Structure formats: structure tokens, C-alpha cells
Amino acid sequence: LSGANRPLGQAMLNAAQLALFDQADPGIEFLPRDTGSTPAGAAEAARSALGEGARALAGPLTLTETAAAAGPARAARAPLMAFTSDAAQAGNGVWVLGTTPAEQAERLANAAAALGARRFGLIAPDDEFGRRLAAALRARMPALGLAAPVVVLHARAGDSAAAARDLATQAGPEGLDAVLLGLGGERAKAAAIALATALPQPARLMGTSLWAQDPVVAREPALADAWFPGPDPATRSAFEQRYQSAFGERPPRLAGVAYDAAALASRAAREGDGAMAGPLAGTVGQAMLGADGPIRLAPEGLAQHGLALFALDPSGEPRLVQPAPIPGAAGS
């Protein structure tokens, strides 16, 4: 509610309050705490809320704040529903509710393989995000009965067009059926243009959920019909309408995570007995409808999301390609 993430923090608080209103349980008390957008503030906020009797925590926002708040939460055996998408924070009472790079890569790979894609490639920055995309794609190929993907990770400030040409060279004369671009904006545009001439035949281009708000990729002809994953449109629209009615503005993209976290935390507080396994014993493994579509808590501490697939369209409005499946179901 203060610090560098103050505007986003207020929207997340609004979404959490909306979730508790939708729960309509007068027995649930909400205790907002300000992390100040710092790890130390997150740890103190967790201790303060737990000291006043909180039985479950929703938040914090970032991976460093989550790591700091996890200690007090685990010590109090209170489930922590974190907004981060960093899978490394998951487990032992901490649930990562953000959509991870891995589940995005898996959703895209499953869908492309179902339509006949057999040779996959990836271009991404050589950072934590890119490495997680690469690891997920490499792990998914054997499960689909396919060969290892061709992967090119380049420096964040590197030449994405050169990376695309490198990918095509490594792929050889057979080319690739599908290429995941862990890039956005001008870098995604440059890579797509280069792939159009470097590959022996066109490949299915795919990107991440960040493309939903990327005007550069939306306008680029070389990326027309490229896929990206995103929230279930009908469910997200209903959430946005309720949020706008309550707070007079459209919620940011991440507000849905706060809504889900608060709903799950209130369920844990209502059903729990103080043991980290106990509060969510009836919820882990079961799909529920969140702000962005179906969501399922996995035992290892990750949230699995039912992700819809969209295609970039010259009109500027993404086109729905596949609806969101129930997470954990085949093809999700």
C-alpha cells in the first residue's frame, strides 16, 4: 500500500476485499497490512497479522517479499497465498498463485502438439524467465513423445533477429513446426520477421501472456495468428465488471491473483485447525473458479490455471482459439 508498488498494491487490496464480499461470510475478518514494498516490511506485516490472530495470509506481491513473509507464516503454521509467479517459493505452506512461465509453456506445447506440431523451438532472454521457459519446454517434450526442443537463449540486450537466425540454423533443413518467443515488443517483432525468412517453412509462433497488453506484437503482420495464453475471457470479464462497479475503475491484470488468494485464504481460515495441511485439505487438488478462470491448488504449492489460448489478430483484438480447460485435465 506504500512504496514502489503502491498503485498496484491498492488494486490488489481492492480485489481481495471484493473476494471476501463475494464469500459473504460474516465470520471472516480481514486484516490489511502494508509491506511498504520491501522484504523487511513483508516479514513485519506477516508477524503483525499473525499476532492479531490471522489464520491464513493473502499476499505479498513479489518473490523477495514472499520469501521474507514465508518464515513467520510457516512458524505460525498459517497458509500463505502469495501473488508471485516464482515457483521456487512454493511448498511447505506457501502457495504460488501467479501464472508461472512453466505452465504457459506447457499449455502452448500441449495445444500445438495436439494439432500436429512435432519440432519445437524457443527464443528467450538468458535470464530466470527464459531459463524457466526452456526447462519447461524440455521437460514437456518427452511426455508428448517428441524430440528435445531447439533452444536459443540470448543476452537480454542481445539481437533477437540474430537469435532467430541462429535458431533456424540449429534446426537445420527440417525446420520447426512451432516456436515459442519468450520476448515482447520490438524484440518479438524482430525475431518473428527474421524467422519468416530463415526457416524453410512457416512455423506456428507462440508467446507468453504478456502479449495480451503488448501493442507492438498486436500490430506486427509477421505475428498475425500467433498464439498466447491468457485468462478465461468470460470469467475475467465478469470479475472486471464487478470490480469496476465496486471501485469505479478497471482492475489491472494482476488483480485477479489477489482475488483468488483472498478467497482461498478465507476458505483456509474458515475450515482450518491451525495445521498447514489441515486448512486446505479439502481444497488441494480440487478445481475452483477464480477471477481469471479455473484454478487448482497442487500439493507441491503451485496453483494450476486453466489457460485459454488466443491468437493475435490484425484488428488489435485477440481472437479466442481454445477455451480454458479444467487444470489437471488432459491437454491443459
Average pLDDT over residues 286-312: 93
Provide the pLDDT confidence category of residue 269 given band limits of 50, 70 and 90: confident
Residue 265 has pLDDT above 80, yes or no: yes
Q: What is the pLDDT of residues 228-254, one digit of tens each?
A: 999 999 999 999 999 999 999 999 999
Provide the pLDDT confidence category of residue 268 given band limits of 50, 70 and 90: confident
Asked if the domains 6-99+234-306 and 101-230+309-322 are classified in one and the same CATH topology, the answer is: yes
In the chain, what are the domain boundaries? 6-99+234-306, 101-230+309-322
* pLDDT number for residue 270: 74
Q: How many angstroms separate the CA atoms of 66 and 96, rounded?
A: 9
Upstream peptide bond of 294 is cis (omega within 30 degrees of 0): no
CATH architecture of 101-230+309-322: 3-Layer(aba) Sandwich (3.40)
Q: Which residue has the higher pLDDT, 331 or 178?
A: 178
6-99+234-306 placed in CATH 3.40.50.2300: yes
**107 DSSP assignment:** H
Cell numbers standing for residue 45: 506485516
Q: How many angstroms separate the CA atoms of 176 and 206, rounded?
A: 12
β-strands 178-181, 204-206 pairing: parallel
Q: What is the pLDDT of residues 16-52, one digit of tens each?
A: 999 999 887 777 888 899 999 899 999 999 999 999 9
